[in-house]
Copies of this chain bind each other. A is one copy, B any other.
Amino acid sequence: MPEISLRIEKVRSNMPRLESFAILIGYNTNIYYTTGRYFRGYVYIPGEGEPLWFVIKPQIFEREHNIHFIRKPEEIPGILCELNYLKPNLIALEENELSYSEIIRLRNIFKDSEIADGSGIMKRTRMTKTEWEISEMKEDGMHQTKVYGKVKDCYRPGMSDLELQIEIERKLRLEGSLGVSRVAGNFMEINMGSVISGDNADNPAPYEFTMGGAGVDPSLPVGSDNSVILEGKTVMIDMNGAFNGYQTDMTRVWAIGQVDSLAQKAHDCSIRILRHLEKFSLPGIHVKSMYEEALKIVDEEGLREYFMGHRSQVGFIGHGVGIELNELPVVMAKSRDILQENMTLALEPKFVIPKVGAVGVENTYVVTAEGLENITSFPEEIQYF
């Protein structure tokens, strides 16, 4: 089955099994998911029959598909009627992603239909990946790994975290990175990732990233703060892995000179957690049990006070990743998800060690029948400049 048809069937398998059910998609990421490209407009997927593309922009478009050029969504019901599409009794809209004004407008257009939540349908659909999506992500992982191999070349003594980040950004872009990090949710902002050195790791950010950093401007308080990289401090590098519509998420740690034994111990603990979870995380387990297993190891090693932050700690150690950096499931105590084959997960057990900085490893994994397959394979030990 062609990739797009496969995805449409996946969307349908997450929809109520009603002939008169439809979903109308208007959110960028979901348009890309259901069409393989991005346009401004809507994708209409009925319970049965061909999906339709309603394109507002661009009005020039090469494709033989079921495309209808519109100026505004009010034209949609008339076109559905002309095409003899069944009037939906229940229509799902992306209530978490589209603005209040837009949903109100769409509700008015479909005022004879009941409204269902489309956000959950699309999130659950995208939670597991197709073979094609996984191959895109493997390609991302290879490119990202290749660039991490050039980090050492980017470093010059006396450099600030920000200066190092800029050189890594350039290498990523030359390797094919699109230069954007797509994140779900309106309030998350970041450029191409995060390079955090020394004490800056203990500055909490307003965003739902595991690590913070003060940033260089109060309008974007996250990541590098332009402080010079010092001996004995760590530099945590968590930079963009988006080389196609998908992305991988990988973190590694660099340092100058030796880091202290507590930091080394915590870094080793992060690797121990990952090795354990790679075998433990079989399809069918509760995602929350992965979080619990990680905490057990952290407690055995007596490192709880540094785990997932120090002055401010976050309550998850991983998350789905795909088109967006933060997809389902979230690996946290409250998760109610069951681990499934072909989920793709970033696991990032990290520690913040006062006076040293952040340590730990993040890999992106594919969930397979045998456990987790790592697709971000750069060496995990602390690297030295």
- Chain B contacts of A336 at CB under 8 A? none
A187 within 8 A of B: yes
Check A37 for interface membership: any CB of B closer than 8 A.
yes
A71 to chain B, nearest CB (A): 12
- What are the interface flags for A87-111 relative to B under an 8 Å C-beta threshold, 1 for contact and 0 otherwise? 0000001011111111110000000
A362 close to B (CB within 8 Å): no
Contact of A186 among B99, B104, B208 (CB under 8 A): B99
Q: In the complex this chain forms, how many copies of it are found? A: 2
Binds B, one of A54-62, A124-132, A257-265, A369-377: A54-62
Say yes or no: A218 contacts B38, CB within 8 Å.
Answer: yes
| Residue in chain B with minimal CB distance to A119 | B101
Query: Which residues, 153 to 201 on A, are CB-close (under 8 Å) to B?
Result: 163, 166-167, 169-170, 173-174, 176, 178-180, 182, 186-187, 189-192
Please indicate the chain B residues that have their CB under 8 angstroms from the CB of A163 in the complex. 174
| Nearest-Cβ distance from residue A169 to partner chain B, whole angstroms | 7
| Interchain CB contact under 8 A, A178 and B58 | no
Would A98 and B100 count as touching, CB distance under 8 A? yes
Question: Does A312 reach chain B (CB closer than 8 Å)?
Answer: yes
Q: Is A39 an interface residue (CB 8 A)?
A: yes
Q: Hey, which chain B residues are within 8 Å of A38, CB to CB?
A: 189, 206, 218-221
A32 beta carbon closer than 8 Å to chain B: yes
Report the Cα distance A270→B95, complex, angstroms.
Answer: 43
Nearest chain B CB to A38's CB is how many angstroms away?
Answer: 6
Residues of the B chain whose Cβ atoms lie less than 8 Å from the Cβ of A189: 28, 38, 180, 182
Other contacts beyond A40-B206, A179-B192: 14, CB < 8 A: A32-B218, A37-B218, A57-B206, A57-B207, A58-B205, A60-B312, A95-B104, A99-B100, A100-B102, A100-B103, A163-B174, A178-B219, A179-B191, A182-B189
